[in-house]
Amino acid sequence: MATIGDVAREAGVSRSTASYALSGKRPISEEVRRRVLAAAEALAYTPNAGARALATAQTKVLGLLAQFHEDEFAPAMMQYILGVTNTARDLGYDTLLVNEADGVRALRRVTDSRMVDGVVLMNIAQDDARLPILRAAPQPGALVGLPGDCSGLDVFDLDFEEAGRVMVDHLHRLGHRELILISQPEHVVERGGAYVWRLRDAALERARQLGLTLHAVYGESRQPAVGRLLVHLLDTYPAATGLLINNEAAAAALPSVTYERGLRVPGDLSVIGRYSEEFAATFSLPYSFIESAPDRLGAMAVRQLVRRVESPVARNEPFVVRFISPELVSRGSTAPPGTRSP
Amino acid sequence: MATIGDVAREAGVSRSTASYALSGKRPISEEVRRRVLAAAEALAYTPNAGARALATAQTKVLGLLAQFHEDEFAPAMMQYILGVTNTARDLGYDTLLVNEADGVRALRRVTDSRMVDGVVLMNIAQDDARLPILRAAPQPGALVGLPGDCSGLDVFDLDFEEAGRVMVDHLHRLGHRELILISQPEHVVERGGAYVWRLRDAALERARQLGLTLHAVYGESRQPAVGRLLVHLLDTYPAATGLLINNEAAAAALPSVTYERGLRVPGDLSVIGRYSEEFAATFSLPYSFIESAPDRLGAMAVRQLVRRVESPVARNEPFVVRFISPELVSRGSTAPPGTRSP
DNA sequence: CGTAGTCGTCGAACCGGTTCGACAATCTGG
DNA sequence: CCAGATTGTCGAACCGGTTCGACGACTACG
């Protein structure tokens, strides 16, 4: 495989001249530049990534640290990953996908060894043990998800509080008085998944303000348990006319449940979900939903990361916490309340 | 950040001694080894990946080249990725996830720059333009999926031909005489997705041998189109009593279709799918199916790759083409044919 | 016509590891 | 008691890039 030394010899110049001719960082005569470029072309020269990383202290690689939990919805995860890798690629970076149970060790390994220029962290927990490591790391870091302490890092997330309020407000305006909110399973919360109670608490608070009844329950993450739970909930709260879903598995399971019970949406039951457009398409869900935009979040995180990596000025800018505001995509699954046929 | 020079100074030895003490590649006195280890610990020393790669010509990174097509099922893809990254991690390798439309350029970039020790290719096309590049690359490569020409590469795939035969045989033994096979959309074939016609042709051939009628059609990849197609097929072939599905979207859409038509499975219609266990769980599909084991395939590819990377002996072994044999996981969705109520 | 300034190129040093050959000190066997 | 082997350590070279300072050649200007 050709090195820059080979290119230089072929072009009849020194190694440094070849380097400058290729990078353009110093003026080089047109004649020499042509010879070097031709030689590089002829020898199919590609710079050695390790050598370049060593010399420039830049790897052109970003780390993506994700954790794949058994009880998490794989399709949803995929969206984040694509958002990150696509954006990184467009900006000239490759992505190192690190999926390790021991996130702390993995993060330390990746940053200390200088394999990456920056790190995107996913599956952020309220009190995430990886954050101190990332703050102390020489590379900048960006989070997709909101932790308890955002200091020293750029943070991107959906505004889950506002999402909860938007859901409640929407059904309240239509005249609903009793709602059910089904959230992610409780162990997601225990693991530190703050977005679950961020939406939940905000929804409960807003319901209280508006004088609505809101039954907030934690769901399951799998079929058939989540289907059974839905049935149980509809039985338990026969007067509820609105269903809010912050739980992908529950959303995916709902169509068969309503079908089986002969419930019409929105005639008998108004439904609002919280998931991504892509998710809705995959499961062909007919519900109005709040777009969680995983690809957009991943893209934002990467763009900010690359800004900090590439510009010494940007590197010292104050850190940002940016929420994307929930957008209710209408699919016609809400209407003024009817009476549910039991 | 501490370098090995810092560690050496702290321990009062030369750089080379520090290196040997850490790697154990030469005998080092117990006393010195202790001092070096203590110094490394104290300084939180982690070797610089670029420098090590340059010196050893090993990066401890594997490339995973995937292409995410609009019309492909994201959840299925995720399974492959997890199989690869998990196995790689267990063997001490990180994974560079490269998702580029221009697979040829991406592959060349990654191999020529020596960013990776080996490459796993996914979404293999019958006449895949990336294969010549990979054969010529200095790193070994493994494919998940069967191309037209397997030479010079290790290949892993489900035995789709046998899968087709197993499906047909199974329903034949139960007494079925007329079947429908719904495959992936035709443009998957045009793109080079050979597994589609491998299963299809084998199924047709076996049906011919057994004197069965088999209606083989290409499906859609999305709702609601695929649902409509299913309805249309059931209308068009009212005498068909068995349905074979080599199309994830169709499998996911089938439950609501049968439900809507009041078709009982397997009373009125016997069904066999081809997808992964994980996929079945995600969509809670109640059908017997042939396990496509994406995680196992990914794992096999990585293990073989690492073998070749790490052992000079293994590097020169003949290349393998390994099929995992289709395993029919029974979920009770097949039975002797009844008469379909129209 | 001499000198200051620019342009283009080169040699050398450096990034941070690994590894080879040399060598001193210690141990072993005759 | 000495030759020879063994053990433990060091210095130097190397991997393949980038970058700094120096320098010769040429141009412009007073």
Whether B196 and B298 share a structural domain: no
- pLDDT tens-digit map of B193-230: 899 999 999 999 999 999 999 999 999 988 788 999 99
CA at A16, C1' at D22: how many angstroms apart? 14
Position A340 scores a pLDDT of: 53
Whether B154 and B166 share a structural domain: no
The model's confidence at residue A281, banded by pLDDT at 50, 70 and 90, is confident
Examine residue B332 and state whether it is found in any structural domain, yes or no: no
Examine residue A336 and state whether it is found in any structural domain, yes or no: no
Quote the tokens at residue B301: 């590819």
The model's confidence at residue B342, banded by pLDDT at 50, 70 and 90, is very low
Whether A71 and A93 share a structural domain: yes
Whether A279 and A308 share a structural domain: no
- Tell me, what CATH number does A25's domain have? 1.10.260.40
Examine residue B329 and state whether it is found in any structural domain, yes or no: no
Examine residue A333 and state whether it is found in any structural domain, yes or no: no
Q: Is the pLDDT of residue A342 over 50?
A: no
Q: What residues of A are in contact with residue B115 (Cβ under 8 Å)? A: 49, 61, 94
CA-based torsion, B137, B142, B147, B152: positive or negative: positive
Q: How far is CA B176 from CA A88, A203, B20, B337, in A?
A: 52, 54, 70, 6
Highest mean pLDDT: which range of A216-225, B173-182, B251-260, B262-271: B173-182
Listed residue (B201, B169, B157) closest to B183, CA to CA? B201
Is the distance between the Cβ of A213 and the closest atom of strand D smaller than 7 Å?
Answer: no
Whether A193 and A237 share a structural domain: yes
Whether B39 and B138 share a structural domain: no
- pLDDT tens-digit map of A287-308: 999 999 999 999 999 999 999 9
Is B114 within 8 Å of A49 when comparing Cβ atoms?
yes
How far apart, in whole angstroms, are the C-alpha atoms of residue B289 and residue A115?
A: 42
Q: Point out the residue among B53, B86, B114 whose CB comes nearest to the CB of A99.
A: B86
Whether A218 and A174 share a structural domain: yes
| Cβ B329 vs Cβ B289: under 8 Å | yes
B103 interfaces chain A, CB cutoff of 8 Å: no
- Tell me, what CATH number does A112's domain have? 3.40.50.2300
Residues 190-249 of A with CB under 8 A from B: 222-224, 227
Nearest residue in A to B45, CA atom:
A112
How far apart, in whole angstroms, are the C-alpha atoms of residue B284 and residue B252?
A: 9
Q: What residues of B are in contact with residue A113 (Cβ under 8 Å)? A: 46-49
Examine residue A123 and state whether it is found in any structural domain, yes or no: yes
Examine residue B56 and state whether it is found in any structural domain, yes or no: no
Is B50 within 8 Å of A114 when comparing Cβ atoms?
yes
Examine residue A126 and state whether it is found in any structural domain, yes or no: yes
Range of the domain at A17: 4-47
How far apart, in whole angstroms, are the C-alpha atoms of residue B64 and residue B120?
A: 5
Number of independent structural domains in chain B: 3
Is A223 within 8 Å of B284 when comparing Cβ atoms?
yes
Whether B75 and B141 share a structural domain: yes
- pLDDT tens-digit map of B96-115: 999 988 989 999 999 999 99
Position A93 scores a pLDDT of: 97
Whether A286 and A186 share a structural domain: yes
Beta-bridge mates of residue B271: B243
Whether A210 and A65 share a structural domain: no
Whether A219 and A281 share a structural domain: yes
Nearest residue in A to B83, CA atom:
A99
Is B100 within 8 Å of A89 when comparing Cβ atoms?
yes
Examine residue A56 and state whether it is found in any structural domain, yes or no: no
Whether B142 and B192 share a structural domain: no
Query: A148: distance to nearest CA of chain B, Å?
Result: 28
Is B282 within 8 Å of A75 when comparing Cβ atoms?
yes
CA at B193, C1' at D3: how many angstroms apart? 73
